[in-house]
């Protein structure tokens, strides 16, 4: 069956409204948030009633927009059965930040077909910032076109790190990363919301981000926004096929090869026992 033609610009406008609605819900619920209703999925990995309610709302809205699409979502609402199109949804990226009333936290929504991500929308609630892009278009923040920075020297690069919940599997590599870059780059930061952070690179606020054990719902929207802003994203081995790789290195492109070389060196130093793509 031939794939239905989608008006990506029109659909992106509708998804932007969905993301803003969900973000408004997150902000409203935060005013009376009940930490007693937080559940632990794994060690230090939390989900709240707000995540679940936000996801149900988003999935319902997106299903109305494109009924033939499946879903891959962080909290398991909806299902993917091999449909031509698939929504990737993180209803609250930065849950730990949200629980502790810290920024940033955001809503992340992307649509992909069987080949690539077609559109991405990220709404960062704390700064009321809406990022979006669609295939073959530009990247935007609140209606203004955005571009990655042109920083090319590591000693000027502002780098974000992500420390995943699988601490035992990632700790040694994380320590290697910190040892390699701390004091040798413009700065290291740990912010706790991958989707928003990819957009921060797209907007020129950072030059790179490094993390493993990350879900496709965390990065799909940020990936296309970063790409359309001129950035680059690969796995730690350099493959651009990284949405399902569980390890993601994103950058402005100018510092990519040098940082990638160091990441490869660090993996080699740890040896084959450090498997981060499983």
Contact 156, 247 (CB under 8 A): no
Contact 74, 85 (CB under 8 A): no
Kindly state whether residue 276 falls inside one of the protein's structural domains.
no
Which is nearest to 251 in space by CA: 193, 206, 220? 206
Q: Any idea which residue has 């230090």 for tokens? A: 44
Kindly state whether residue 125 falls inside one of the protein's structural domains.
yes
- Same-domain pairing of 18 and 140: yes
pLDDT at 2: 40
DSSP β-bridge partners for residue 140: 132, 145
Q: Would the CA dihedral through 104, 26, 45, 217 be positive or negative?
A: negative
**Domain membership of residue 101 as a residue range:** 8-145
Q: Is 64 helix (H, G, I), strand (E, B) or coil?
A: helix
User: Which CATH number do you get for residue 208?
Assistant: 3.40.190.80
Where does residue 237 fall: left (phi above 0), alpha (psi -120 to 50 degrees), or beta otherwise?
alpha
- Same-domain pairing of 17 and 82: yes
Q: Is 241 helix (H, G, I), strand (E, B) or coil?
A: coil
pLDDT at 187: 98
- Same-domain pairing of 43 and 97: yes
* Cα–Cα dist 248/105, whole Å: 19
Contact 137, 228 (CB under 8 A): yes
CB atoms within 10 A of CB 213: 18
Taking only the tens of pLDDT, the chain with its 278 residues reads: 344 578 999 999 999 999 999 999 999 989 988 777 776 665 545 567 888 899 999 999 999 999 999 999 988 888 899 899 999 999 999 999 998 999 999 999 999 999 999 999 999 999 999 999 999 999 999 999 999 999 999 999 999 999 988 889 999 999 999 999 999 999 999 999 999 999 999 999 999 999 999 999 999 999 999 999 999 999 999 999 888 878 899 999 999 999 999 999 888 877 644 455 44
- Same-domain pairing of 164 and 125: no
Torsion on CA atoms 147, 151, 156, 158, rounded to nearest 10: 30
The number of domains in the chain is 2
pLDDT at 250: 98
- Same-domain pairing of 182 and 261: yes
pLDDT at 242: 86
Which is nearest to 125 in space by CA: 27, 18, 17, 34? 27
pLDDT at 110: 98
- Same-domain pairing of 28 and 116: yes
- Same-domain pairing of 141 and 224: no
User: Which of 92, 122, 145 is the endpoint of a domain?
Assistant: 145
Q: How many helices (H) and strands (E) does the chain have?
A: 7, 14
Is this structure's pTM higher than 0.85?
A: yes
User: Which of 145, 169, 200 is the endpoint of a domain?
Assistant: 145
Q: Any idea which residue has 């080699």 for tokens? A: 268
- Cβ-in-10-Å burial (0-12, 13-18, 19+) of 241 comes to exposed
DSSP β-bridge partners for residue 208: 159, 251
- Same-domain pairing of 75 and 204: no
């Amino acid at each position: 069956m031939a794939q239905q033609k989608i008006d990506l610009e029109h659909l992106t406008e509708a998804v932007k409204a969905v993301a803003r609605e969900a973000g408004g819900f997150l902000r409203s619920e935060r005013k009376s948030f009940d930490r007693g209703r937080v559940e632990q999925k794994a060690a230090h990995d939390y989900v709240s009633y707000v995540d679940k309610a936000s996801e149900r709302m988003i999935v319902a809205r997106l299903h109305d927009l494109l009924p033939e699409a499946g879903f891959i979502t962080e909290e398991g609402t909806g299902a993917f059965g091999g449909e031509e199109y698939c929504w990737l949804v993180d209803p609250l990226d930065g849950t730990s930040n949200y629980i502790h009333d810290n920024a940033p936290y955001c809503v992340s929504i992307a649509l992909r077909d069987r080949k690539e991500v077609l559109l991405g929308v990220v709404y960062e609630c704390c700064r009321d910032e809406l990022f979006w892009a669609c295939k073959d278009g530009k990247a935007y923040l609140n209606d203004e076109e955005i571009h990655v920075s042109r920083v090319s020297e590591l000693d000027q690069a502002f780098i974000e790190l992500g420390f995943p919940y699988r601490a035992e599997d990632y700790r040694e590599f994380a320590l290697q990363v910190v040892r390699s870059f701390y004091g040798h780059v413009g700065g290291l930061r740990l912010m706790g919301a991958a989707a928003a952070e990819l957009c921060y690179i797209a907007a020129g606020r950072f030059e790179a981000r490094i993390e493993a054990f990350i879900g496709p719902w965390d990065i799909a929207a940020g990936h296309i926004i970063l790409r359309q802003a001129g950035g680059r994203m690969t796995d730690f081995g350099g493959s651009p096929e990284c949405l399902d790789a569980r390890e993601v290195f994103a950058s402005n492109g100018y510092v990519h090869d040098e940082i990638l070389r160091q990441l490869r060196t660090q993996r080699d130093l740890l040896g084959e026992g450090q498997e981060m793509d499983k």
